[in-house]
């Protein structure tokens, strides 16, 4: 690794969708010489109804698999790259690369290979444009035979490779099996690559550039122009992303978290904005008691009652066993003296419902089983809650004022979040009520 500070910068698809976007990215990188390692996504949408190159590649490969003519589609993809190269005035040609890709599609190289070409080709352009070295991710990001990411092997290889390299471009989203076949992460996986690269070079910061100025306190589809989050901890973010807040791939947190490297979410279209800082721990208070609100619809609750349940050791385990036997994971399990309720995802549970009920009867012999569907769970998350009295009280009085019936309450003992269950129909109003009380009126 070269001496001095280094930043790993990952750019999302919309930041690299056209030559004009590439130029913005180039300016950002050149503005700070510590931005030495660049992880690009494939070109994303240029406008609302545009197609992402990754989706085009999947569709193109499907044609090849079906034995249909895929060359037209591949030509459209080639045109996307040509437009970028010409727009940037580069003399680079990808003709040979496309010849190889066409041949590999014909030879059924696999849909992971196909999808990965989006990042691969964009990486070649980016390296040429910046004058950085290009490193094929297939040579440094490793998966094992079973397809699991091999963190240790990757870290060894990547840190060695990058130590010899002052500035480099490593395309996101893919790596390779031990036999060299290409394997991708799940969709949005360039975020994960960025995190892995940041860990390998022990970067000072992992900057993740996208098309929004960081995380927002609540979903902008529900709250009109919600405020942004300046600083959030990994743990808070994990809670919020689990409940549906998306900006960053869920798995992108782990590699940098191990090294204590902060992530800075930034906006390519507004580089002057500070964005959101995601950190291990901080003494910075969040502006409000809560850091964020997120939630999901589509849960079911299965309420089980049995007299003297409390004195029967192992009852809870047996109930959960009924879910485990059917391959269903549970979300929350609030309980009373003679009752226990299990919250599950409706779409996972629905078609196995009667099997689970039968298993509960067989294993626990309950008095009553009640099932309720169309429920939503909302997570109110904030490191500030621990030191503030009355947070729960404020949430519930806000919900009561909005005429919302609370069906479930769950506060983890970490006091980092409070989970509330409401009817699907009350979901949006509940989020508005909580946002209003903490951020707008601050009563
Ligand atoms: N291009 C891939 C996708 O669309 C990966 C990424 O952008 O992170 O999912």
Does residue 300 share a domain with residue 199?
no
188 Cα–ligand 1 center, Å: 4
Does residue 247 sit within a domain?
A: no
Q: Ligand 1 atom closest to Cα of 186? A: 9
From the list 442, 379, 90, the residue with the least C-alpha distance to 236 is: 379
Ligand 1 pocket check for 343: Cβ under 6 Å? no
CA of 221 to the centre of ligand 1 (A): 23
418 part of a folded domain: yes
Q: What is the pLDDT of residue 341?
A: 95
Does residue 195 sit in the same domain as residue 329? no
pLDDT tier at 441, thresholds 50, 70, 90: confident
On the question of pLDDT at 442 being above 80, the answer is: no
Domain membership flag for residue 230: no
Would you say residue 248 lies in a domain?
Answer: no
What sign for the dihedral angle of Cα 214, 29, 151, 41?
A: positive
Cβ neighbours of 397 (radius 10 Å):
14
Do 191 and 70 lie in a common domain?
yes
The count of domains in the chain is: 2
- pLDDT the model gives residue 443: 65
Q: Which two tokens stand for residue 231?
A: 């600083």
For the cut 60, the answer to whether the pLDDT of residue 179 exceeds it is yes
Mean pLDDT of 278-290: 85
CB 154 within 8 A of CB 141: yes
Distance (angstroms) between ligand 1 centre and the Cα of 58 equals 12
Q: What is the domain-level CATH number for residue 157?
A: 3.40.1160.10
Where do the DSSP E strands lie in 73-147?
A: 133-134
Q: Could you report the per-residue pLDDT of 29-64, keeping only the tens digit for each?
A: 999 999 999 999 999 999 999 999 999 999 999 999
40 Cβ inside 6 Å of ligand 1: no
Identify the band that residue 287 occupies on the pLDDT scale cut at 50, 70 and 90. Answer: confident
Instruction: Among 169, 188, 211, identify where a domain stops.
Output: 211
Query: To test ligand 1's pocket by mutation, which of 173, 194, 268 has the most ligand atoms within 8 angstroms of CB?
Result: 173
pLDDT per residue as tens digits for the range 309-324: 878 889 899 999 999 9
Task: Specify whether 43 is located in the same domain as 144.
Answer: yes
Q: Distance, CA 383 to ligand 1 centroid (Å)?
A: 31
Domain containing 422 equals 292-440
Answer whether residue 412 shows pLDDT above 80.
no
Residue 261 lies in a domain: no
Out of 211, 235, 269, a domain closes at 211
CA of 42 to the centre of ligand 1 (A): 6
Q: Do 330 and 422 have their domain in common? A: yes
190 CA closest ligand 1 atom index? 8
- Residues 426-437 have a mean pLDDT of 96
> Rounded to whole angstroms, how far apart are CA atoms 76 and 64?
15
Residues forming beta bridges with residue 279, ordered by sequence position: 233
Residues 201 and 60 reside in one and the same domain: yes
Distance between CA atoms of residues 415 and 103, nearest Å: 56
Residues 296 and 172 in one domain: no
> pLDDT band for position 388 (50/70/90)?
confident
For residue 385, is pLDDT > 90?
A: no
Question: What percentage of residues in the chain have a pLDDT greater than 70?
Answer: 99
**How high does pLDDT run on average in the chain?**
94
pTM: 0.87
143 lines ligand 1 (CB under 6 A): no
pLDDT of amino acid 302? 96
Residue 335 burial (C-beta neighbours within 10 Å; 0-12, 13-18, 19+):
middle
pLDDT for position 311: 82
Atom 5 (ligand 1) nearest CA? 188
Please tell me the predicted confidence (pLDDT) of residue 370.
95
Question: Does 202 share its domain with 342?
Answer: no
Is the same domain home to 27 and 119? yes
Angle made by CA atoms 22, 28, 31, in degrees to the nearest 5: 140
pLDDT tens for 123-146 read: 999 999 999 999 999 999 999 999
Q: What value does the mean pLDDT take over residues 90-114?
A: 97
Question: Quick check: 89 pLDDT over 50?
Answer: yes
Q: 9 with 34: CB under 8 angstroms? A: no
Instruction: Give yes or no for a contact between 150 and 142, defined as CB atoms under 8 angstroms apart.
Output: yes
Give the pLDDT mean for 13-19. Answer: 97
Q: Output DSSP code: residue 125.
A: H
The answer to which of 29-43, 55-69, 70-84, 269-283 has the lowest mean pLDDT is: 269-283
* Alpha-helix runs per DSSP H in 303-390: 315-325, 346-349, 353-364
H or E segment and range at residue 194:
helix 190-200
Q: Is the CB of 120 under 6 A from ligand 1?
A: no
**Do 193 and 322 fall within a single domain?**
no
Helix axes 427-435, 391-401, angle to 10 degrees: 130
pLDDT (mean) for 426-432: 97
Final residue of a structural domain among 211, 227, 262: 211
Q: Whose CA is nearest to atom 6 of ligand 1?
A: 188
Predicted confidence (pLDDT) at residue 184 exceeds the cutoff of 90: yes
Return the pLDDT at 285. 78
User: Quick one: tokens of 259?
Assistant: 């090294």
Place of tokens 């691969």: 120
Decide if 225 is inside a domain.
no
Query: Residues 227-240: what's their mean pLDDT?
Result: 91
Mean pLDDT of the region 14-40: 98
Q: At what angle do helices 151-163 and 190-200 cross, to 10 degrees?
A: 60
Residue 274: inside a domain, yes or no? no
Ligand 1 centre and the CA of 145: distance in Å?
23
Residue 3 predicted with pLDDT over 60: no
Could you identify the atom of ligand 1 that is nearest to the CA of residue 42? 1
Task: Determine the pLDDT at residue 1.
Answer: 45
CATH of the domain at 320: 3.30.2130.10
Ligand 1 touching residue 52 (CB < 6 A)? yes
Burial of 124 (C-beta count, 10 Å sphere; 0-12/13-18/19+): buried
Residue 262 within any structural domain of the chain: no
Ligand 1 near 195 CB (within 6 A): no
């Amino acid at each position: 690794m070269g001496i001095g500070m280094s930043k790993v910068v990952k750019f999302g698809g919309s930041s690299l969708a056209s030559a004009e976007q590439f130029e913005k990215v180039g300016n950002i990188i050149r503005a700070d010489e510590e931005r030495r390692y660049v992880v690009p996504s494939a070109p994303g949408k240029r406008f609302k109804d545009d197609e992402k190159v990754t989706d085009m590649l999947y569709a193109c490969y499907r044609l090849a698999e079906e034995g249909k003519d895929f060359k037209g589609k591949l030509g459209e993809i080639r045109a996307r790259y040509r437009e970028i190269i010409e727009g940037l005035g580069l003399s680079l040609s990808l003709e040979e690369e496309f010849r190889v890709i066409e041949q590999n599609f014909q030879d059924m190289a696999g849909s992971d290979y196909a999808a990965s070409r989006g990042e691969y080709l964009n990486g070649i352009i980016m390296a040429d444009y910046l004058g950085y070295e290009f490193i094929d991710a297939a040579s440094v990001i490793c998966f094992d035979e079973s397809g699991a990411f091999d963190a240790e092997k990757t870290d060894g290889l990547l840190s060695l490779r990058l130590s010899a390299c002052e500035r480099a471009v490593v395309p996101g989203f893919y790596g390779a099996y031990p036999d060299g076949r290409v394997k991708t992460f799940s969709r949005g996986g360039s975020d994960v690559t960025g995190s892995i690269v940041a860990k390998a070079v022990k970067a000072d910061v992992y900057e993740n550039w996208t098309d929004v100025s960081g995380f927002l306190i609540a979903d902008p589809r529900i709250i009109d122009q919600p405020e942004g989050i300046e600083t959030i901890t990994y743990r808070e973010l994990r809670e919020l992303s689990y409940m549906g807040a998306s900006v960053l791939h869920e798995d992108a947190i782990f590699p940098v978290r191990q090294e204590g490297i902060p992530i800075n979410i930034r906006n390519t279209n507004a580089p002057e904005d500070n964005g959101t800082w995601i950190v291990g721990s901080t003494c910075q208070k969040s502006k409000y008691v809560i850091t964020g609100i997120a939630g999901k619809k589509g849960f079911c609750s299965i309420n089980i009652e049995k007299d003297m349940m409390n004195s029967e050791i192992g009852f809870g385990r047996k109930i959960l066993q009924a879910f485990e036997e059917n391959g269903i994971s549970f979300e929350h399990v609030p309980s009373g003296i003679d009752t226990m309720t299990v919250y599950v995802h409706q779409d996972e549970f629905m078609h196995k419902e009667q099997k689970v009920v039968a298993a509960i009867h067989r294993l626990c012999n309950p008095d009553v089983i009640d099932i309720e569907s169309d429920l939503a769970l909302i997570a109110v998350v904030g490191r500030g809650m621990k030191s503030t009295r009355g947070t729960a009280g404020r949430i519930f009085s806000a919900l009561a004022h909005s005429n919302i019936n609370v069906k479930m309450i769950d506060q983890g003992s970490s006091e980092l979040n409070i989970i509330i269950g409401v009817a699907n129909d009350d979901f949006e109003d509940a989020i508005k009520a909580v946002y209003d009380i903490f951020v707008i009126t601050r009563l």
